[in-house]
């Protein structure tokens, strides 16, 4: 009976009703295309087009064509070099710490803890907190006169009286990064934990029988098998960190002395405060290119790692 049904199914699969799926597929995808396409595709092309013109107002009109001048202007500008450095620093430092802490916390949550469900719930909280609320909260914690961070340091006799944590350029950048790490490490934990749960426990058992120590097992079994999860999360976090805007806006508005100006924030200011729409468009495209380069670089690097892990 089952055999018969399977035969019917096989014949059915190769029959005409399974062909002509293209039309149905198109019909099903069309709504998404309409919703996404007109408001994504057009702007992408439009931004590209605008980046070749010297547009200095939001009003329609005819503006001089300047070719690649906006791009050259960006590369010649020392501001652009500075904000790119800030963005790279922000991206690498925050991604590095989020990954390291994320792996440690995931290992912790995967260990035989009492009330494991409770600890796992706690980790969800920073992730769910809206970015703007997170930024406002940390700005308040860092406050020089009334901030709880100074008071905490004071209680433990570590100084910190009246210190304004967002007062000097490089320190402010690092403090913003800490706020970002506090919120976004959770995402890394989710991915690594999901990866850890797919590793069969008999692998560890076998390694132990063969005389492997837990530390050795971690480097020889856990890390190589986690590489796919690490790869996904590092790419996600890098792309997100590189376009960081919200937390800068709420915490420092790019200051002090442009110390926390990242490339997205700089683009925003050039475009919407100074109304350099043409230059802003070129900057936006440079961000896209940087993002692609970083993503490509990671994929290449990590793919090599995967192969090593296998062999």
Partner 1 sequence: MKPARAYTIFIHVAAVLMGVVILGPFLWLFISSISPAKELISVPFHWFPSHPTISRFKDIFLQSANGENVSANFRVSMVNSFIVATGTTFISILVGSLGAYAFARLKFRFRRTMLFGFLSVYMLPPIVLVIPLYLIIANMGLLDTKLGLIITYCSLITPFTLWTMSNYFRTLPADLEEAARVDGCTRLGAFFRIVIPLSKPGLFASALFAFLLAWDEFLFALIFTSTTNSKTIPVAIAEFAGKYSSDYGLVCAGGVLAALPPVILALIFQKNIVGGLTAGSVKG
| CA–CA gap between residue 197 and residue 162 (Å, rounded) | 46
303 binds partner 1 (CB under 8 A): no
Structure tokens at 100: 């390291």
Phi, psi of 148 (to 5 degrees): -75, -25
Among 83, 254, 268, 302, binds partner 1 (CB under 8 A): 268
SS3 at position 294:
helix
Question: Among the candidate windows 12-20, 67-75, 77-85, 215-223, which touches partner 1 by CB under 8 A?
Answer: 12-20
271 binds partner 1 (CB under 8 A): yes
307 binds partner 1 (CB under 8 A): no
| CA–CA gap between residue 256 and residue 246 (Å, rounded) | 16
Site for partner 1 in 180-239 (CB under 8 A): 182, 187, 190-191, 193-195, 198, 227-229, 232-233, 239
Complete DSSP assignment for 235-252: HHHHHHHHT--HHHHHHT
Among 82, 137, 153, 207, binds partner 1 (CB under 8 A): 137
287 binds partner 1 (CB under 8 A): yes
8 binds partner 1 (CB under 8 A): yes
31 binds partner 1 (CB under 8 A): yes
b/e burial code for range 116-145 (CB count within 10 A of at least 16 → b): eeeebeebeebeeeebeebbebbbebbeee
Mark residues 146-185: x for contact with partner 1 by CB under 8 A, - for none.
Answer: x-x--x------------------------------x---
Structure tokens at 125: 């909280």
The nearest distance, CB 77 to partner 1, in angstroms, is 17
275 binds partner 1 (CB under 8 A): no
Mark residues 64-103: x for contact with partner 1 by CB under 8 A, - for none.
Answer: ----------------------------------------
Structure tokens at 91: 């991206």
The residues with which 65 forms a beta bridge, in sequence order, are 53
Cα 188–chain centre separation: 10
Quote the DSSP letter at residue 57: S
9 binds partner 1 (CB under 8 A): yes
126 binds partner 1 (CB under 8 A): yes
Question: Closer CB to partner 1, residue 102 or residue 259?
Answer: 102
């Amino acid at each position: 009976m089952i055999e018969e049904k399977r035969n019917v199914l096989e014949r059915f699969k190769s029959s005409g009703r399974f062909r002509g799926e293209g039309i149905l597929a198109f019909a099903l995808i069309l709504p998404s295309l309409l919703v996404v396409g007109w408001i994504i595709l057009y702007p992408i092309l439009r931004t590209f087009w605008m980046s070749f013109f010297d547009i200095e107002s939001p009003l329609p009109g005819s503006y001089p064509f300047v070719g690649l001048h906006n791009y050259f202007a960006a590369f010649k500008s020392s501001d652009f070099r500075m904000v790119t450095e800030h963005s790279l620093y922000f991206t690498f430092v925050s991604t590095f710490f989020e990954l390291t802490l994320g792996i440690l916390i995931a290992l912790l949550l995967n260990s035989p803890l009492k009330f494991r469900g409770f600890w796992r719930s706690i980790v969800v909280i920073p992730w769910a907190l809206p970015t703007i609320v997170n930024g406002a909260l940390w700005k308040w914690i860092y406050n020089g006169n009334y901030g709880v961070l100074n008071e905490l340091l004071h209680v433990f006799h570590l100084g910190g009286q009246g210190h304004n944590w967002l007062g000097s350029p490089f320190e402010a950048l690092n403090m913003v990064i800490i706020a970002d790490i506090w919120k976004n490490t959770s995402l890394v934990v989710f991915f690594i934990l999901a990866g850890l749960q797919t590793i069969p426990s008999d692998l560890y058992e076998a390694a132990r029988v063969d005389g492997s120590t837990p530390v050795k097992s971690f480097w020889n079994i856990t890390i190589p098998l986690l590489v796919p999860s690490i790869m996904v999360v590092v790419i996600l976090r890098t792309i997100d960190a590189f376009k960081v805007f919200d937390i800068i806006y709420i915490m420092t508005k790019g200051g002090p002395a442009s110390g926390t100006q990242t490339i997205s924030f700089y683009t925003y200011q050039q475009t919407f405060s100074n109304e350099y729409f043409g230059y802003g468009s070129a900057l936006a495209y440079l961000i896209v290119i940087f993002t692609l380069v970083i993503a490509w670089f990671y994929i290449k690097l990590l793919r090599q790692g995967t192969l090593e892990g296998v062999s």
